[in-house]
A and B are shown apart, each in its own frame.
Chain A
Amino acid sequence: MDEEKRRFNPIPVWLAVLASTAIQIASVYKLRQYSVVATDTLILLVGAFEVTLIGAYFMHLKFEQKSLLAVALIPIFIVGAMVFGILASIVR
């Protein structure tokens, strides 16, 4: 692939990642007192967004052949199965 097409400006991505972290932290201080569940969900969703950004830009996934992206879904499927199955087996 053309080297030129693989270039991007990292500063907006960097700022977006830092801002997301800031949102996470702010939610602990401001939101948690109202609803722990909502806060935790928000934190995880924002975290997932951050990881997507890092994966897309700093790990260059956005600029790779799409087949690589498709293959990256396999571990996600397996991780999903693991998290679900193991946590569901908790004995109450």
Chain B
Amino acid sequence: MFLIYKSKMGEEELAPVVKSRPSSQTAFYAILAVLVVATAVLVDLNYGTPAERLVFSEVVIIWGALLLLYFIFNRPFIATSERFRKTESWVKRWLYTTNHKDIGILYIVTALFYAFVGGMLAEFMRTQLAVPQNHFLNPLEYNEAVSIHGLVMIFWFLSPLAFGFANYFVPLQIKAKDLAFPRLNALSYWTYAFSGLLVVLAFFLPGGDINGGWTLYSPLTSNTFMPGPGPTLGFAGFTLLIGSITISSINFIVTLVAERGPGVTWSKIPMFTWFILFTVVQMLFAFPDLLSGMFMLIADRLAGTIFFTSTAGGALLWDNIFWFFGHPEVYIVLLPAFGAICEVLPVFARKRLFGKNAILVATFALVVPFSFLVWGHHMFTTPIPPTEKMAFMVSTMGISLPFDVIVIAWLITITGGSLRLKTPFLFALASIVVFIIGGIAGVFLASVPLDMLFRGSYFVVAHFHYVMVGASVFGLFAAFYYWFPKMTGRMYNEFLGKLHFALSMISFNLLYFPMYFLMDMPRRIVTYNVPSWTLPNLLATIGGYIFGAVQFILVANFIQSMRNGAPAPANPWDADTPEWEPEQVLEEVNGGFTTPAKITPSLGLGVGNSPPIAKAPAVDALRSAQQAATTTQAGPSVVVRHHVSTRPIVLSGGISIALLGLAMLQYAYLGLPILAIGATIAVMSIVGWAWDDMNSVFRIPEGITEKWPFTQVSRLKLGMWSLIFSDVILFATILTGDAYIRINSPTWPAPNTLHPIVLGTISTFILLSSSPAAYMALDSIRKGSTRGMLSWLGVTLALGAIFDGFEFYEWWQLFSQHMYPSTSNALTTYFFTVGIHATHVLIGLLVMVYLIIKGLRGGFTKSNHEAVEMFGIYWSFVDALWVFIFAFFFLL
């Protein structure tokens, strides 16, 4: 039941206190002064020149590197005083935690930071549009601002905010001890946090940031129209975020399916958790599609493929790929807020939620599947066939019906209830009202003829801000106030809350309502000179300023209340969902957790499964957790499940640095070393991760949980299958794109002309033979034969390596005949698809190396060999993919 915590951190902590060294200190300040002066001179010399961005970016990078070195070598946190030691523990706790509550809070705080980034960009745009013919931003800057505002608000603020709450409350609502894979959860968080930094950093690289709109319409986003490492870095950051989201969705799906506490059957799952489930199911299937698109886009930019620059693929292919993801995405940002509203309304109306099952069925049976069937309504103004437009119009009208069910159920819930008009309720109500207004506008857009009229106008801008800012953000604000007492143990200030609500609602409408009247003003324009547009724009800007400023009330309220707010009772709203039940935690006595105690959540952040920060600084707490594991074994109801890992943050950092290097590769000498450093860090932390696993540093035993209908399926296997499902979408998108290009190409090489069938057949036979070999490895260890397993793994490894060798041999053959990805459509699709597949094989090879080493060290036994089974499933899946790829390029 217990997790034994092992880490080198303990020893590090005891490092001797650094004494002050006067001579080196003088030198330090001298160097610092020189650097500051040099920076000032550099900036001054280059200000306003074309080299401006490059120089600024280098200054930022150099200062960042210096700061890092300073911290690494000087370790200011360890030095000097007790206070610094505490700070260090505190910092380490937040950097290395894998606890779901901690990570939830990290998500929320980080999301607010990105809201500030995206909000500032919005204010810049509103300033530019306040009056006609303004010159506050130039056109390129405006385009960057629009694009990054849209992307950051959706992907780095709105969704992550929702997932902050999901992290914190989903495990509590289903009585799980944590998410199924806590380290992967930390990895999701850190890749999310860093990926946003990459996107922000891209502003300072040559070429600037992404400036083709949040829809990234290619070929506008190709090298021709958007050259430079800046946009590439932006795309790389976005791609990293997609990785983070995919890991996160798998984690939540497995948690919801297999980690529910005893007695928490499906029918007992609270509404918020249900809606998170709907959201992650959509995320699991929508994001891999976008990931393929991003890979193609980046390949177009860096490897010379011509997916979106040739006429065979081009803009319409991007449109399809993007919107197949894009429409589910609008529900992905909406549904968590709906879940929160479903929690808040009944509690504050003191009634049961009306039509709970109708809401669930409508969402799960209609919204979730249909969201993948309506993407064409974003393509009404493209030349796709009219019949298809009609089909998409009908399906779109259909998908609006379940939302009527939901809204009606909500309205019935609150009518006749004895309402408590507290801030959470007010925001929930506002969310519904605004959603109705925004939704009605959406119905107009679903009709082909009206959409022709409104497409690309400020009417659309008004529509989606009503839905996203109004419905989603207000819904999540409701969640914010509602759960604040649980998360902090203190009450927020009700007056400030209501003030925040009232001013937000007023300024929100002042900001966006005028835009409904700007039906003839195109969106994404940098300035205008039409008299009738002046007033609405001015009003919107005033509203925008107020709306932005008002949000600081919320921040102030929270900071103030967290420190000085009235202590919150355990269940301040009399809610009956499980997250309000008192949790069992271990009370800290003399630096060790010894006494299990029932407590109310008033001890500060992270109470419960992790040590309260107010009492125990992290490192000490971790040590105590270790002790507790031994001292409290008698009490089976008490589980210490605190585990930390340095791997997630280091791995994410390494990947981010590597991506920075990758983006700069073609433009600067610095690119290669940066790429190498980042890759080295990443590889080292992956090896470290494997090392941890091999030594069971971080082992989570399979608990007793509700798992119907997957009673027989292990946690790991569910994770593996979820991963495979998402990979199916990834490859389906790639192959559909290939087929699309092929059908559109005037000519296509016949079988056996470009790719020799003989070569393909040999490599296919080799790969297909490796699946049975992998099975034999599993069969051997099931019978207890480690030797047998190792030999069969060796065979599989050899076959896989030979297969990849064949693929690269064919590449080399093609290169030597001067055939490159850019040569033709056929070669673009071939190199790309086979390349992605070969990478999958390569990953499998690395996993096998790990399995073999672990096997050699006696890590697998007759009863403990799940990793071997998981590997076999993955490996056979990669083989199965090849069947289609082989057919597509060699036989058809």
Interface residues of chain A, those whose CB is within 8 Å of chain B, are: 1, 3, 6-7, 10-11, 13-14, 17-18, 21, 24-25, 28, 32, 40, 43-44, 47, 50-51, 54-55, 57-60, 64-65, 67-68, 71-72, 74-75, 77-79, 81-83, 85-91
1/0 per residue B773-809: CB within 8 Å of A? Answer: 0111001001000000000000000000000000000
Give chain B nearest CB distance to A12 CB in angstroms: 10
Query: Restricting to B755-777, which residues have a CB under 8 Å from any CB of A?
Result: 757, 761, 764-765, 768-769, 771-772, 774-776
A25-B891, A65-B709, A65-B711 known; A82+B324 contact, CB < 8 A: yes
Contact between chains at B373 and A81 (CB < 8 Å): yes
Q: Which of B383, B712, B757, B887 sits near A1, CB closer than 8 Å? A: B712
Contact between chains at A79 and B887 (CB < 8 Å): no
Interface residues of chain B, those whose CB is within 8 Å of chain A, are: 285, 289, 316-317, 320-321, 324, 369, 372-373, 375-376, 379, 383-385, 388, 709-713, 721, 725, 728-729, 732-733, 736-737, 739-740, 743-744, 751-752, 757, 761, 764-765, 768-769, 771-772, 774-776, 779, 782, 869, 872-873, 876-877, 879-880, 883-884, 886-887, 891-892
Q: Provide the bound-state CA to CA distance between A79 and B736, in Å.
A: 9
Contact between chains at B711 and A85 (CB < 8 Å): no
Q: Which of A3, A32, A58 sits near B751, CB closer than 8 Å? A: A32
Contact between chains at B765 and A91 (CB < 8 Å): no
Contact between chains at A7 and B891 (CB < 8 Å): no
Contact between chains at B757 and A58 (CB < 8 Å): no
Q: A7-B779, A58-B872 are in contact. List 19 more A-B contacts (CB 8 A).
A: A10-B775, A10-B779, A17-B768, A32-B751, A50-B768, A51-B883, A51-B884, A58-B873, A59-B873, A59-B876, A65-B709, A65-B712, A67-B710, A67-B713, A75-B729, A83-B732, A86-B321, A91-B316, A91-B384
Q: Which of B379, B709, B772, B891 sits near A14, CB closer than 8 Å? A: B772
Can you report 18 A-B residue pairs in the complex whose CB atoms are below 8 A from each other?
A11-B772, A14-B771, A50-B768, A55-B876, A59-B877, A68-B721, A75-B285, A75-B729, A78-B285, A79-B729, A82-B289, A82-B729, A82-B736, A83-B739, A85-B324, A86-B321, A87-B736, A87-B743
Give chain B nearest CB distance to A46 CB in angstroms: 9
A18-B768, A51-B884 known; A24+B779 contact, CB < 8 A: no
Residues of A within 8 A of B877 (CB): 59
Residues of B within 8 A of A91 (CB): 316, 383-385
Contact between chains at A86 and B736 (CB < 8 Å): yes
A74-B725, A91-B316 known; A83+B757 contact, CB < 8 A: no
Q: Which of A6, A50, A60 sits near B873, CB closer than 8 Å? A: A60
Contact between chains at B373 and A54 (CB < 8 Å): no
Q: Provide the bound-state CA to CA distance between A54 and B869, in Å.
A: 14
Q: Provide the bound-state CA to CA distance between A58 and B876, in Å.
A: 6
Residues of B within 8 A of A67 (CB): 709-710, 713
Contact between chains at B743 and A90 (CB < 8 Å): yes
Residues of A within 8 A of B880 (CB): 50-51, 54-55, 59
- Indicate the member of A67, A86, A88 with the most B CB atoms within 10 Å: A86
Q: Which of A54, A64, A81 sits near B876, CB closer than 8 Å? A: A54
Q: Which of B289, B373, B774, B782 sits near A58, CB closer than 8 Å? A: B774
Instruction: Give the residue name and chain of the A residue nearest to B750 (CB).
Output: A32
Q: Provide the bound-state CA to CA distance between A3 and B776, in Å.
A: 14
Contact between chains at A21 and B289 (CB < 8 Å): no
Q: Which of B320, B729, B739, B779 sits near A85, CB closer than 8 Å? A: B320
Contact between chains at A43 and B372 (CB < 8 Å): no
A51-B883, A58-B879 known; A21+B771 contact, CB < 8 A: no
Give chain A nearest CB distance to B720 CB in angstroms: 10
